[in-house]
Amino acid sequence: MEAMVHSSSFLLPEIPAGDGDGLKYALVLLNQRLPKFTPLLWKHAQLRVCADGGANRVFNDLPLLFPHETPSDVRTRYKPDVIKGDMDSVRTEVLEFYRNMGTKIVDESHDQDTTDLHKCVAFIRDFHADTEDTLCILVAGALGGRFDHEIGNINVICHFSATRIILLSEDSLIQLLPSARHHEIHIQSSVEGPHCGLIPIGAPSGSTTTTGLQWDLSDTEMRFGGLISTSNIVKGEVITVHSTSDLLWTVSLKKL
């Protein structure tokens, strides 16, 4: 079975030559503190989508990352392509500002059963319907603050398990490793690690085998309430993971 390769090269200031695929992603901005590396992700994104109140973060918080520029110059440069959600958090002045700049606004206030992140991922999948196998979605501001939102975000990556979705905060990266594939995680040690975890979500892991970790698993079962792998340490440049159930992979991010 061909391994699925993962690399956080999108966090590197310069994308390595020959790693063009690392650049093919859509960016979703959530209503939580945006990581300092958000402008880097923005630069190479093919589509930039704000989930409801995520637009307030782009409007208010991105200018703070450029103290030598006027907020208005920064806002003109960082124009989202789309704002989508149930529109109960984005401020009216923010919505009007971006509407006047040509941002597409998609109001789904009728749907009170799925989160704004879910709505944005569904939009991006439809938008990229023809290239779904190469599509990656980076989600900025996915952790911190309210625990129900954090779990809701993790639920979205489990719901859309066939789509590569990477949740990001300033400190952590989280993604799903589907059990149907073997995984090779290429560690970018200048920006990530050494702390990491492998977490069975929703069901026991069955059998998991890894290489490249300080505490490797060898045909080991993990389950909530029993063994799960937290505070593990990345040892090799490449981590391999085989598991009979889907797992969450998480790795710490270094401060820029």
Ligand X SMILES: Nc1ncnc2c1ncn2[C@@H]1O[C@H](COP(=O)(O)OP(=O)(O)OP(=O)(O)O)[C@@H](O)[C@H]1O
Ligand Y SMILES: Cc1ncc(C[n+]2csc(CCO)c2C)c(N)n1
Min dist CB 26 to ligand X, Å, is 15
Closer CB to ligand X, 2 or 148, in the complex: 148
| Residue 26 vs residues 39, 70, 178, 210, 211: alpha-carbon distances, Å | 13, 27, 20, 30, 30
Buried b (16+ CB within 10 A) or exposed e, 3-36: eeebbbbbbbeeeeeeeeebeebbbbbbbbbbbe
Q: Which stretch binds ligand Y (CB under 6 A): 41-49, 55-63, 109-117, 160-168?
A: 109-117
Min dist CB 176 to ligand X, Å, is 16
CA 120/CA 122 separation, integer angstroms: 5
Which residues are 213's β-sheet partners? 234
Min dist CB 136 to ligand Y, Å, is 24
β-sheet with 183-186: strand ranges across: 4-7, 183-186, 238-243, 208-211
Neighbours of 213 (CB within 10 A): 20
Min dist CB 102 to ligand X, Å, is 21
Q: Is residue 153 involved in binding ligand X (CB under 6 A)?
A: yes
Single out the residue of 100, 102, 110, 112 in contact with ligand Y (rule: CB under 6 A).
112
Q: Is residue 155 involved in binding ligand X (CB under 6 A)?
A: no
Min dist CB 113 to ligand Y, Å, is 4
Length of the chain: 256
Of 61-90, which residues contact ligand Y (CB under 6 A)?
A: 86
- Binding stretches for ligand Y (CB under 6 A): 86, 112-116
Q: Which positions touch ligand X (CB under 6 A)?
A: 30-32, 51-54, 85-86, 88-89, 115-117, 142-146, 149-150, 152-153
